[in-house]
Structure 1
């Protein structure tokens, strides 16, 4: 997400209530799930609210939505990650990082930004855990609550 208006490189995502923004993050997660293209199971986790670094925490917030995907067959994990690497750019996402992390497992990390949707996703291929899965974290840009509203935290 590149169009920034503060020093922390978190773009403005516009004005929204916490609930509406959380629903949007879940929708983005659902769209990413559809791109995986292999049978499996996604965790059913809720979204959370966090503050925007350096901004008034009563007026500004970000949404994060962590979830995981476990393919029906462990040998489909690589296929799921490859599909995401290929399909995300076709749907407005820009892959900004791809490759092994510094952990002893050398997990493959994919980070992509969608400037239009004002969301980023980080996907970690956890091949060496049982069962093998993808760990996903969808994060929004920085929202401002409408005038007269307060940030709801959940």
Structure 2
């Protein structure tokens, strides 16, 4: 368990760098993180959970997802007192490992039908060459990176959902969790 948490902690910065720099394009500089509007961090975390639930439903196989909550992070180089991003990292382990075969191809087809644009698909740069999919949803202002870890025991899917840049209303503070 400790090893798995360390592996997730080590991949988190890479996933963040990958996701916050791609897609969700407002017609600004390509390295800008798009705006997700004004919100409290609690409301934004609710949006992240809802987005993760929708993604979970697209898997359409029996299994168990980890019960992790969203987190708050700074939004690039913007004022950390006013701007934040929400991320939600979780994994899915199927009831039967054989059921994961083909699920990434299915997600690649299903995601666009639900407002997502697949912006990257193929083996990642890890030693295991895990199959990875990155998609953006401009309407929801979220990106997701899904990695199929076929060589894990048991095989699983790792999800990393990250928002665009939220701003808190004047007089409000960003809640950290």
Give the TM interval when normalised to the shorter protein. over 0.9
**Among residues 97, 100, 103, which one is paired with 1:80 in the alignment?**
103
Partner Cα distance (2:84, 2:172) in 1? 12
- Of 111, 120, 127, which aligns to 1:97? 120
Residue 6 of structure 1: how far off its partner (Å): 5.8
SS state at 1:58 partner: coil
Q: CA deviation at 1:7?
A: 6.1
Q: Which residue of the other structure, out of 39, 53, 58, is the alignment partner of 1:16?
A: 39
Tell me which protein shows more strand as a share of its residues: 1
What is the aligned length? 154
Work out the CA distance in 1 between the residues paired with 2:126 and 2:27. Answer: 31
The residue aligned with 2:55 is 32
Extract unaligned runs of 5+ from structure 1.
none
SS of the aligned residue for 1:68 comes to strand
More helix by share: 2
Over the aligned positions, Cα root-mean-square deviation in angstroms equals 1.2
Q: Deviations over 1:109-143 (max 9, x none)?
A: 10000000000000000000011000000000000
Task: Give the distance between the partners of 1:148 and 1:111, measured in 2 at CA.
Answer: 35
Q: TM-score, normalised by structure 2?
A: 0.84
Partner of 1:28: helix, strand, or coil?
Answer: helix
Aligned to 2:102, what secondary structure does the other structure show? helix
Q: CA deviation at 1:101?
A: 1.1
Residue number among 53, 73, 82 corresponding to 2:76 in the alignment: 53
Q: Which ranges in structure 2 are unaligned for 5 or more consecutive residues?
A: 1-23
Residue 76 of structure 1: how far off its partner (Å): 1.1
- Moved >4 Å (runs of 4+): 4-7
